[in-house]
Amino acid sequence: MELSKRQQKIIEIVKEKGPITGELIAEHLNLTRATLRPDLAILTMSGFLEARPRVGYYYAGKTRDQLFAQRIRQMKVKDYKAVPVVMTEEASVYEAICNMFLEDVGTLYIVREGAILSGVCSRKDLLKSSMGKQDLNAVPVSVVMTRMPNIVTCFPEESLFDAASKIIQYQVDSLPVVKPAEKDSDQLEVVGRITKTTITKAFVELGEGRETV
């Protein structure tokens, strides 16, 4: 929403001097209380200011933003992760492309025995290899995938906010959700995936007001 110059000035005054009464704000602006009434009503209804009887107006915007931020950071990866779609290193690029269409996902995770993460294969990797003249049945997916340890991952207990930040920072479409493997804690076992779709769904849920922490 667009604020008028006078409304912005009122916010400045309340930020600096709040809690402050309407009369005092009017005095600061050399206006009457009656002139300010519509502005104060708008600013209060839209949540920039809050009013308490016998106390006056105080600035609510910043606190509200921080509350929202805090709330978003409480959302956990484990509560939003989707089922991972995995293949083995021996699969061909052709099989990977078919699987991607079949499962309708943008990224495949390539695993070894015990669901140990070994690589990530994106639509871009597959598109690049399909442009060449090779026989796609003859090329193993392990040749075109991004390989460990060059893979950005996340953990079930991490916040969804952290996962989304990594997706943006590293410019990837998805993050494998992993945990240390039971047999060898240096290896990572794939237990889920977080994608831009996951984050978009979470955003929609927040906008519907149906997300509950």
Rounded Cα distance between 33 and 109, Å, is: 64
CA pair distance 106, 176, nearest whole angstrom = 12
Q: How many chain residues interact with a copy of itself (CB under 8 A)?
A: 52
Q: Does 71 bind a copy of itself (CB under 8 A)?
A: yes
Considering only the stretches 19-27, 79-87, 158-166, 180-188, report the one whose residues sit in contact with a copy of itself under the rule CB under 8 A: 158-166
Q: Is 196 in the site for a copy of itself (CB under 8 A)?
A: yes
Nearer to a copy of itself, 104 or 182 (CB): 104
Residue 86 in the binding site for a copy of itself (CB under 8 A): no
Closer by beta carbon to a copy of itself, 5 or else 210: 210
Give backbone dihedrals phi and psi of 197, rounded to 5 degrees, phi first. -65, -45
- For position 200 contacting a copy of itself by CB under 8 A, the verdict is yes
Q: How far is CA 197 from the centre of its chain?
A: 10
Closest distance of CB 97 from a copy of itself, Å = 6
Residues 6+ apart with CB under 8 A from 146: 119, 120, 121, 122, 125
Interface with a copy of itself (CB under 8 A), residue from 20, 77, 144, 167: 167
- State the Cα–Cα distance between residues 29 and 7, nearest whole angstrom: 11
For 60, list phi and psi in degrees, rounded to 5.
Answer: -110, -20
Positions 46 through 65 that interact with a copy of itself (CB under 8 A): 47, 61, 64-65
Q: Does residue 180 belong to the site contacting a copy of itself (CB under 8 A)?
A: no
Applying CB under 8 A, the residues found at the interface with a copy of itself are 1, 47, 61, 64-69, 71-74, 94, 97, 100-101, 104, 106, 123-124, 126-128, 130-131, 136, 159, 161, 164-165, 167-168, 171, 173, 195-197, 199-204, 206-213
